Amino acid sequence: MPHSENDEHVGTPFPPDMHDARHLWLKAGLLSVWAMVTFGVCWFVRDLTWSMGQWQFGYWIVAQGAVLMFIVIICVYCAAMNHFERQDQQRESSATPSDE
C-alpha cells in the first residue's frame, strides 16, 4: 500500500504521453543545436588565428563555449519540460470536472 501520492509512481515507467510529438521535436531541435555547435563552430574556428602566447585562442574559445552552450541547452530543456508539465496539469484539471 503506498504511503503517499508520490509512492504510487515509484518504479513505474513513464506514461506513453511523455513521448508525444512536442517532446520529440524539442529533443530533435536541441540535438540539432548541439550538433551545429560541436561540428560547425569547430570547423570555422580554424579561421581564428589570434594567439595568446603559444596558444591558439580560437580553440580555447570553442572548447569553453561548447561547455557553456551545453549548459544553456540543459536549461532550455528543463524550462520547456516544466512548461509542458504545467500545460498537461492544466489540461487534466480542466478536463476532470467535465468527465465526472
Q: What is the pLDDT of residues 38-68, one digit of tens each?
A: 888 778 777 777 777 777 777 777 778 889 9
Closest to 27 in 3D by CA, of 65, 84, 66: 84
pLDDT at residue 80, rounded to an integer: 95
Measuring CA to CA, how many Å separate 34 from each of 7, 27, 39, 74, 78? 36, 10, 8, 11, 16
C-alpha grid cell, residue 69:
552552450
Q: Any residues with CB less than 8 A from the CB of 85 and at least 6 apart, and which?
A: none
> What is the identity of the amino acid at 1?
M
Q: What predicted TM-score, i.e. pTM, was given to this entire model?
A: 0.66
